[in-house]
Structure formats: C-alpha cells, structure tokens
C-alpha cells in the first residue's frame, strides 16, 4: 500500500501556490498545514485553494510540531536558512525553493544539519526534469565531446526585473545571480558532474534597477541586475557566465560546451522580454564535429513532451520520502557548490579582482 505523505508548507506566496497545486494533484499526499508570519495569510491561502483539512499557523514552529513527513519551504530567500534548519531539526524532510540560502555559511549549516538529522534537503531546480536538459547531460557524459574544457552559459531578459523582496539585499541576498543565474550555473555544473570551483573573477552592476525610467522602485533597488564572471573549475575547465534582468539586447548568446572532439550549442525555449534564461526548456541543440576531416553540423531534435517540470520536481520529493532511503532528488550538497560560486561572484565584483572559492568538507552539524 502506497504511503500517504503528510506535507506542511511554510510561506504562502506565489511559489507556495505552485507547490500546493502540485500536491493537490497527488492522491497519495495530504497538505496538513500552512504557515505564514503575516496574520491571516495562511488561513486565506487555505481557503482559496480549498485545502479542507489543512490548519493555518503564523509561527512555523507550531506547524513543525505536527505529524509531518515533509515540508515545502516557500518563504522569501532570507528565511530559507532558519525555516529549513528548524524543519530538519524537527525531523522533517525539506524541499526548499531556490536559492539555497542568502550566504554560503547558511548553506553549509543547512546541509550539515540535514546530515546530522539524516533527513533529505533537496532544492527546487525544476529544469533538471526537462527531458532535453537530461539529453544534454547524457550527450556530454557519453564522451561524445571529448574533454570539455570551456562552457559559456547564462541568459538575459530584455526586461525582466522583479520587485518586492527580490530587490532588497537583506531579503534576497543577491539579484539576478540568485534568481535566474543559479539555473544557468546548474545547467553547466550538473552536465559536467558538478566539479568543484577554484576561483572566480566577476563584474556586476545595477544600472537599470536603480534607474526610475526602468524600475518603479528604483530608490530601493539594492541588488545586481547584471553580472559576468569567469569561473575556474577543477580539471582545467572554465565557465564563462553571464546573466541579466534587463538590457538593450535580445540575447546574451547561446549556451556552449566546447570539447576536444566536438562542441554543443543550446538555445533556450520561449519568446518575449522575460525569456532567454535557463528556467525552462531547450529550444535547439546543435552538435559541431568532424567526419573524415570535414566540418559537420548536426541538429539534434529536441524531445517534444507535455511534462510539467515543476510538478515533476515536487513529485520527485514525494517519491523520495515514500522510498525511505533519504536520497535527495537534487542534493543540497550539489547546490551548495552553486551557492559558493554566486558568493564568490559577489565578493569578486565588490573587490574588483579574482577571488578564491573554498568549500569546507561537510560534516554533521553540532546540535
């Protein structure tokens, strides 16, 4: 008999709505409770989504006292650390939305707490479930490209700057890097097998966000809306990374994987001013290689599918709980590397020079 998984949701904003809608489609899941520190907001969320058996709370600690198997952490970025650690300490498995945390130190604490409690900590990177993203990883992992020494990745929106908690440094930690850049980094790093970073040299700016002609809350815009970085990885590999929330351009270019035997070029799916970043599917895949000494360009057909990749992300979390092996679908240990690079980018941009990236050996937290 399939286990009914009892879920709590912390935070009741837009991303929480997406989680709840996915859970509601699963006959083997029960949403037991919702917590939000804004008075009445959790109750309103429950009523609107018709979660008849769910209980509202203003304090997430009260939610964690219930008999729950897992928790979706859907708070603003600033609360990811505390709510995730509290949930893990309460013996719950955790699916936390991206980015993992505000600081690298917080991310380390989250991962080490999950190790200490022997509970899953998985991170919401739904593009991993796109069949074409998986196809790209299969191609590179097969050795078709030979030794991959260079990756160009990132993406830009012509106009795509959010508001609210996304633009305050104390609440978001970072801007475009954490919001959409993390997806581009995951595309590159996951395809390469998540090699460890060594150093980064970066530049960031917020020339659009702080301009009232382009953003309605320019006076309160504190994070970067554009950034570029050269990231050195173990094994002699480098990533040329670039991301933008706003620019006078239609694209920052395709994602490229250059190998000693072949190269791979990817373009993202989607059109319009909010597209052009790797938070969705792949529009095209092209292989550049040689046959009998001749240059050959091969277009690889993208897989057509009707998968809701956000649903697949949430479903993978539920399945992992049911399997009882405490194996996270997207391990936070991997995303910690992603977080370390973003941390390095911000440090390098502030210092105006290359900085080293160091990730300590992870060990169970002292509790």
Edge to edge, the sheet with strand 55-57 lists 55-57, 29-35, 5-10, 70-73, 93-97, 121-124
Are 121 and 88 in contact by the 8 Å Cβ rule? The answer is: yes
Tokens of 59: 């304090």
Residue 89: partners with Cβ closer than 8 Å, 6 or more residues away: 113, 117, 367
Low-confidence ranges of the chain (pLDDT < 50): 367
Question: How many Å separate Cα 241 from the centre of its chain?
Answer: 16
β-partners of residue 290 are 295
Q: What is the pLDDT of residue 19?
A: 98
Of 121, 112, 127, the residue nearest 72 (C-alpha): 121
Of 334, 360, 357, 355, the residue nearest 198 (C-alpha): 357
β-partners of residue 231 are 200, 239
Q: What is the pLDDT of residue 367?
A: 45
Q: What is the pLDDT of residue 277?
A: 82
Residue 6: partners with Cβ closer than 8 Å, 6 or more residues away: 29, 30, 32, 66, 67, 68, 69, 70
Using CA atoms, how far residue 331 sits from 73, 99, 186, 334, in Å, is 15, 13, 12, 6
Cis bond upstream, residue 299 (ω within 30): no
Of 184, 78, 165, the residue nearest 127 (C-alpha): 184
**Strand-pair category, 148-156 with 255-259:** antiparallel
Are 277 and 183 in contact by the 8 Å Cβ rule? The answer is: yes
Give the H or E element holding residue 70.
strand 70-73
CA geometry: angle 50, 54, 58, nearest 5 deg:
110
Residues 23-41 as b or e (16 or more Cβ within 10 Å = b): beebeebbbbbbbbeeeeb
CA geometry: angle 80, 17, 65, nearest 5 deg:
55
Are 55 and 80 in contact by the 8 Å Cβ rule? The answer is: no
Torsion angle defined by CA atoms of residues 34, 121, 317 and 3, in that order, rounded to the nearest 10 degrees: -80
Residues 99-136 as b or e (16 or more Cβ within 10 Å = b): bbbbebebbbbbbbbbbebebbbbbbbbbbbbebbebb
Of 188, 144, 157, 185, the residue nearest 291 (C-alpha): 144
Residue 173: partners with Cβ closer than 8 Å, 6 or more residues away: 77, 78, 99, 101, 102, 103
Q: What is the pLDDT of residue 84?
A: 98
Of 311, 234, 264, the residue nearest 137 (C-alpha): 264
């Amino acid at each position: 008999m399939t286990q009914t998984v009892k879920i709590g949701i912390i935070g009741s904003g837009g991303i929480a709505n997406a989680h709840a809608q996915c859970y509601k489609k699963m006959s083997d899941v029960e949403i037991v409770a919702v917590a939000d520190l804004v008075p009445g907001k959790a109750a309103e969320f429950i009523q609107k989504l018709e979660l008849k058996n769910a209980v509202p709370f203003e304090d997430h600690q009260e939610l964690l006292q219930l008999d729950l198997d897992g928790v979706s952490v859907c708070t603003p970025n600033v609360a990811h650390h505390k709510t995730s650690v509290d949930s893990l300490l309460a013996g719950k498995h955790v699916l936390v939305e991206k980015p993992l945390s505000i600081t690298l130190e917080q991310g380390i604490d989250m991962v080490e707490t999950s190790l200490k409690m022997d509970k899953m900590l998985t991170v919401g990177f739904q593009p991993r479930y796109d069949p074409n993203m998986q196809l790209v990883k299969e191609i590179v992992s097969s050795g078709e490209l030979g030794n991959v020494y260079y990756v160009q990745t990132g993406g830009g929106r012509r106009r795509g700057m959010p508001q609210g908690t996304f633009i305050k440094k104390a609440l978001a930690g970072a801007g475009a890097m954490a919001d959409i850049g993390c997806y581009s980094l995951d595309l590159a790093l996951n395809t390469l097998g998540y090699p460890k970073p060594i150093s980064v040299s970066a530049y960031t700016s917020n020339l659009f966000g702080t301009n009232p002609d382009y953003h309605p809350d320019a006076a309160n815009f504190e994070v970067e809306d554009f950034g570029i970085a050269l990231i050195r990885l173990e094994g002699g590999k480098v990533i040329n990374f670039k991301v933008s929330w706003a620019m006078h351009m239609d694209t920052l270019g395709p994602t490229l994987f250059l190998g000693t035997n072949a190269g791979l070029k990817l373009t993202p799916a989607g059109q319009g001013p909010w597209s052009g970043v790797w938070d969705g599917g792949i529009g095209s895949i092209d292989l550049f290689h040689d046959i009998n000494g001749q240059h050959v360009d091969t277009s690889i057909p993208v897989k057509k599918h009707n998968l809701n990749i956000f649903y697949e992300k949430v479903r993978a979390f539920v399945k992992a709980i049911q399997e009882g092996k405490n194996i996270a679908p997207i391990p936070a240990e991997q995303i910690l590397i992603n977080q370390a690079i973003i941390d390095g980018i911000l440090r390098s941009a502030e210092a105006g020079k290359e900085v080293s990236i160091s990730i300590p050996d992870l060990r169970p937290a002292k509790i």
